[in-house]
Structure 1
Amino acid sequence: MSSPKLLVPEPVIQDRQFTKPLMCGPGPCDLLPSVIEALTKPVISPLCDEYHEVMADIRAGIQYIFQTRSPLVLPISGSGHSGMETIISNLIAPGEILLIPARGIWDDRAYNMATRYGIRTEVIKKAAPWATFTLEDIEPALKEFRPAGLFITHGDSSTGSLQSLKGLGDLCHK
């Protein structure tokens, strides 16, 4: 029995030469020479001791950056979106409330993720989408809704705004 004729010929794929563009946006972006060098190192497996040693170093760095002694720091190998999904889906249970002071696409994503998991969401907004929230803006919603969690975006690339986080931890504990 003969094989059927292929309707689409096999493609000819060749190496391409290109001029590297200068990328200055939030992503993709240019890599530091040290990062490019690190990409030439051997890939290690999560089954190797070296992998766990590297993860311990990363956790120690995160503890230093955020000045926390908590052993629960989560280095996540993935995009910011995957980190958001990890935290929302594991720390807030279906039926619990997540408060979202919303001002950009990251907060919209958090809302969509939370509602997919059956988490009740309460959203507060400012008149201007790039405006940030004060403690006085957030406190009444915390008192009213008594959420299990607060999702707030620090640096929002869609609006170019930088949200102050100072005092939020104390406000949530209060």
Structure 2
Amino acid sequence: MLSRMNPRMNSMQNIVFSLIKKEQTFVNFTRHMSTSSTILPPQRLLRPLHVNEKKLFGPGPSNMPPMVMEGLNQPMLGHLHPEFLDIMDDVKAGIQYVFQTSNPLTFAVSGSGHAGMECAVMNLLEEGETILIVQNGIWGQRASDLSDRLGLNVRKLVVPEGEVISLEDFSEAVDNYRPQVYFLLLMLPSFAMEKVQPVLLTHWNVSLREGLSAVAQEGIENLVERHLKNAKLFYAALEELGLEPFVQNENYRLPCLTTVRIPNGVDWKAVQSKLMARGYEIAGGLGPTVGKIWRIGTFGINSNPEDIDALKLALKSALYEQKEKIPN
């Protein structure tokens, strides 16, 4: 009788009955799960985890110093513990030292490089504002894509991969477009470029505090000198192997990450697989450079003559096997 007189009440009753029925179904399900399981524990999770030792010569991550590994073994902390806040202050001080800045707003972004890039763009610009992007590789492409999705007025300076833009062309574009923000993977005065380049790529993605401590203990000047010295050793090793750097002008190369042209007829994936089987990792290209280059990193504790020589011998062996398969 009530349901005929009040359709809304009838609808509410149906909703209540439906919720009660769902709750009873859930209770029955949990009771069943407490006594039986149709999916058994996966066997792969019942064996101990083991990771083979490798020399990481890709674009990152790199092998970590012992003090960084020891930092990972510290007791677990909550994000509100006083010790955690102290570590955050340590990290802030370390980043300020690495980038030689006293900016009080210095902080680390917990995320990928893409996350940091998106964080910066979203916090600096509003929809409809202008951004000038220098695009000479995958990161410039990604910056353009995310800026388009954010509704920004995107202006581009497109440069072929492996080349750099001139200061004159860049200044002209800034004058023409008057952007609120310009995007460059790295823009610093030339005297600062050599100082910062190696440091930017020697951070470790875990135990950041101890990684920064390692940089502080070695000293930026010594760290830079080591990377520049070993980069020259690696360039000489490439020349000895008949390999050509992708960036022709040595002044434009990163001293800690070298792009290498893949020789004609060489199966680049097979070379990487052979190296990995020997415990050495290098990486292929990204985006427009896939199949064209290898990316080989010599930074962190791997930036030393012994490891570079060992990598050269491993590369020589892997390339020799490939050349035997290439018809004359």
TM-score, length-scaled by structure 1? 0.77
1:54 aligned counterpart, secondary structure? helix
- 1:10 deviates by 4.6
- 1:109 deviates by 1.4
- 1:144 deviates by 0.8
Q: 2:43 aligns with which of 8, 12, 30?
A: 12
Between 10-19 and 81-90, the greater mean CA deviation after superposition: 10-19
Distance in 2 (CA, whole Å) between partners of 1:131 and 1:50 is 46
What does the per-residue CA deviation read over 1:88-112, in whole Å, with 9 as the maximum and x for residues that have no partner? 1111111111111111111111112
5 Å matches for 1:75-114?
75-114=108-147
What does the per-residue CA deviation read over 1:85-144, in whole Å, with 9 as the maximum and x for residues that have no partner? 111111111111111111111111111222222222111012x21101221121011011
- 1:57 deviates by 2.2
Q: 1:41 aligns with which of 49, 74, 91?
A: 74
Distance in 1 (CA, whole Å) between partners of 2:167 and 2:106 is 25
Aligned to 1:153: 185
Between 92-101 and 41-50, the greater mean CA deviation after superposition: 41-50
Between structure 1 and structure 2, the one with the greater Rg is 2
Letter in 1 for 2:172: P
Between 143-152 and 56-65, the greater mean CA deviation after superposition: 56-65
Q: Using CA pairs below 8 Å that are at least 6 residues apart, which structure has the higher relative contact order?
A: 2
Distance in 2 (CA, whole Å) between partners of 1:19 and 1:53 is 34
Distance in 1 (CA, whole Å) between partners of 2:80 and 2:49 is 36
TM-score, length-scaled by structure 2? 0.43
Change (3 A) 1:17 1:50: closer
Letter in 2 for 1:146: R
- 1:162 deviates by 4.7
- 1:28 deviates by 3.7
5 Å matches for 1:155-170?
162=253
Distance in 2 (CA, whole Å) between partners of 1:9 and 1:67 is 55
Aligned to 2:169: 137
**How large is the RMSD of aligned CA atoms in angstroms?**
2.8
Instruction: State percent identity of aligned pairs.
Output: 33
Structure 2 unmatched runs, 5+ = 1-27, 187-196, 202-245, 255-328
Asked whether 1:68 is paired with 2:101, we answer yes
Between 102-111 and 55-64, the greater mean CA deviation after superposition: 55-64
1:101 aligned counterpart, secondary structure? strand
Query: Does the CA-based 8 Å contact 1:132-1:162 persist in structure 2?
Result: no
What does the per-residue CA deviation read over 1:9-64, in whole Å, with 9 as the maximum and x for residues that have no partner? 65312225453222211124322212111111123232122222222222222223
How many positions carry a matched residue from both structures? 159
Structure 1 unmatched runs, 5+ = 164-174
Structure richer in helix, relative to its length: 2
Change (3 A) 1:11 1:62: closer
Change (3 A) 1:5 1:50: closer
Between 26-35 and 97-106, the greater mean CA deviation after superposition: 26-35
Distance in 2 (CA, whole Å) between partners of 1:43 and 1:134 is 49
Aligned to 2:158: 125
Letter in 2 for 1:78: G
Between 84-93 and 25-34, the greater mean CA deviation after superposition: 25-34
